[in-house]
Structure 1
């Protein structure tokens, strides 16, 4: 039971953090033009989108260590999808 609660919180946590960031700051609007990409990120790759939002600099975009943050987010997203498939087996 505790494992299911942890899995649910891990799945919901980055989405809630991204939604709060989107609602209460201009960081998401600054990193993306339009609504489609952040919305898709919110649904499919929340850690990657959150990392991109925090790594984005208005003038330079994402550079250097920022790409490492985005890559770590992508690995976390992929591991959450892979971990779910492994648990079902």
Structure 2
């Protein structure tokens, strides 16, 4: 049930999904120490930050297929910035 809600929020927008994940779970606090990096990620790279939070495992960090998920998030972020500049032309 919680996963379905997350998927719906992610479809609405990565910032909403990341903010709700941050407010209602401890996943963001587990993946990051401090406030600056997740806040920076929320503002500038929401898909990448969300993917990192989901791929992070407490003892080992991010490994293997988790890095593929983070890179996909980064590509989504970069494509959203690149697509906006292309649409303006």
TM-score (norm 2): 0.87
Partner of 1:28: 28
Large movers: runs of 4+ above 4 Å: none
Partner of 2:39: 39
Matched, 1:83 2:46: no
Give me the whole-angstrom Cα distance separating, in 2, the residues matched to 1:38 and 1:69. Answer: 17
Please provide the CA RMSD for this pair: 1.2
Structure 2, unmatched stretches of 5+, are 1-9
Give me the whole-angstrom Cα distance separating, in 2, the residues matched to 1:25 and 1:80. Answer: 27
1:1-89 to structure 2, matched below 5 A, reads 13-89=13-89
Residue 63 of structure 1 aligns to a residue in which SS?
coil
Residue 66 of structure 1 aligns to a residue in which SS?
helix
TM-score (norm 1): 0.87
Per-residue Cα deviation, 1:42-82 (whole angstroms, up to 9, x for no partner): 00000000000000000000000000000000000000000
Structure 1, unmatched stretches of 5+, are 1-9
